[in-house]
C-alpha cells in the first residue's frame, strides 16, 4: 500500500449507496475522466476485518484450520469481519476468543492493508503476545474451526501453500525464508 493510497479516502464523498446486501454494499458515483467527460464508477464497501497473530508463551503461534460450508479447508490466523461500528481491536479480541477460546492482555496493530482498489475494505492485523486459553471456542453453525500450534519455521514453510489464507502476510514470510535479516526482524517482532 502506498502512502498515497493510505491517505486517499476509500470512497469519494459524493458516492451513493445503490445496493446493500448481507456482506457487501455497492456504491456508485459520476467520475470526471481525464478528457472532461463523465462515467459511472462503482466500488464496493464492506465492514473492516481484523486478523490476530496469536503468540503463545511456548514460542509457538496459533493457526486455525477453518472450514466453511461450500468452501474447502483453509489455514488462517483467527479473525473475521467487524460488526458495524466496532473498532478493529475489539473485533480482533472478539474473534480470537470466539474462534479459539484464547485471549491476551495486549493487542498490537501490525499493519492495516487494503486488499483491493475496488473494495472499500481494510484488514487490520494484530499481534497478541502471551496468549492464554480462557474459554472454549464458541462457533456458529457456519464455522468448523480447529487450532494448531506452529513454529515460525512451519509458518514460513506454509506461506505459499495455496490453502494459506492471509495473503498480505505471504511476502514478508517468503522473504524471511531466504533473508536472515528479514527473518531476524520478524522473530523480534513476534517474540522480542
Residue environment code for 140-170, b if the CB has 16+ CB neighbours within 10 A, otherwise e: eeebebebeebebeebbebbeeeebbbebbe
Residue in 56, 150, 158, 174 binding its own copies, rule: CB under 8 A? 174
In 3-state terms, what secondary structure has residue 26?
strand
Q: Kindly report the number of other CB atoms within 10 A of residue 42's CB atom.
A: 13
Sole window of 56-64, 83-91, 95-103, 169-177 interacting with its own copies (rule: CB under 8 A): 169-177
Binding-residue pattern over the window 38 to 77 for its own copies, x denoting contact by CB under 8 A: -xxxx-x------------------------xxxx-----
Please give the Cα distance from 132 to 113 (Å, whole number).
27
136 binds its own copies (CB under 8 A): no
Count of residues near its own copies by CB under 8 A: 50
* CA-wise closest residue to 29 among 20, 19, 45, 18: 18
- Sequence-distant (6+) residues with CB within 8 A of 151 are 59, 60, 61
Between 129 and 185, name the residue whose CB sits nearer to its own copies.
Answer: 185
| Residue 79 beta carbon to its own copies: minimum distance, rounded to whole angstroms | 14
| Residue 151 beta carbon to its own copies: minimum distance, rounded to whole angstroms | 21
171 binds its own copies (CB under 8 A): yes
Residue in 57, 85, 162, 180 binding its own copies, rule: CB under 8 A? 162
Residue in 87, 163, 184, 191 binding its own copies, rule: CB under 8 A? 163
What is the DSSP track for 59-111? S-EEEEEEEETTEEEEEE-SEEEPPTT--HHHHHHHHHHHHHSEE-S-EEEEE
- Using CB under 8 A as the binding rule, the residues of this chain from 6 to 25 that contact its own copies are 8, 12, 18-19, 21-24
Q: Kindly report the number of other CB atoms within 10 A of residue 114's CB atom.
A: 17
| Site residues (vs its own copies, CB under 8 A) | 1-2, 4-5, 8, 12, 18-19, 21-24, 26, 28, 31-37, 39-42, 44, 69-72, 115-118, 140-144, 160, 162-163, 167, 170-171, 174-175, 177-179
Amino acid at each position: 500500500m502506498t502512502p498515497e493510497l493510505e491517505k486517499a479516502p476509500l470512497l469519494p464523498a459524493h458516492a451513493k449507496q445503490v445496493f446493500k446486501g448481507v456482506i457487501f454494499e455497492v456504491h456508485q458515483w459520476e467520475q470526471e475522466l481525464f478528457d472532461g467527460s463523465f462515467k459511472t464508477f462503482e466500488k464496493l464497501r464492506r465492514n473492516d476485518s481484523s486478523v490476530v497473530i496469536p503468540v503463545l508463551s511456548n514460542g509457538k503461534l496459533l493457526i486455525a484450520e477453518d472450514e466453511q460450508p461450500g468452501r474447502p479447508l483453509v489455514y488462517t490466523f483467527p479473525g473475521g469481519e467487524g460488526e458495524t461500528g466496532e473498532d478493529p481491536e475489539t473485533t480482533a479480541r472478539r474473534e480470537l476468543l470466539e474462534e479459539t477460546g484464547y485471549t491476551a492482555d495486549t493487542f498490537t496493530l501490525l499493519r492495516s492493508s487494503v486488499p483491493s482498489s475496488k473494495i472499500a475494505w481494510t484488514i487490520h492485523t494484530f499481534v497478541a503476545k502471551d496468549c492464554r486459553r480462557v474459554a472454549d471456542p464458541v462457533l456458529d453453525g457456519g464455522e468448523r474451526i480447529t487450532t494448531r500450534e506452529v513454529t515460525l519455521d512451519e509458518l514460513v514453510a506454509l506461506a505459499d501453500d495455496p490453502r494459506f489464507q492471509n495473503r498480505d502476510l505471504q511476502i514478508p514470510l517468503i522473504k524471511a525464508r531466504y533473508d536472515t535479516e528479514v527473518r531476524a526482524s520478524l522473530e523480534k517482532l513476534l517474540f522480542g
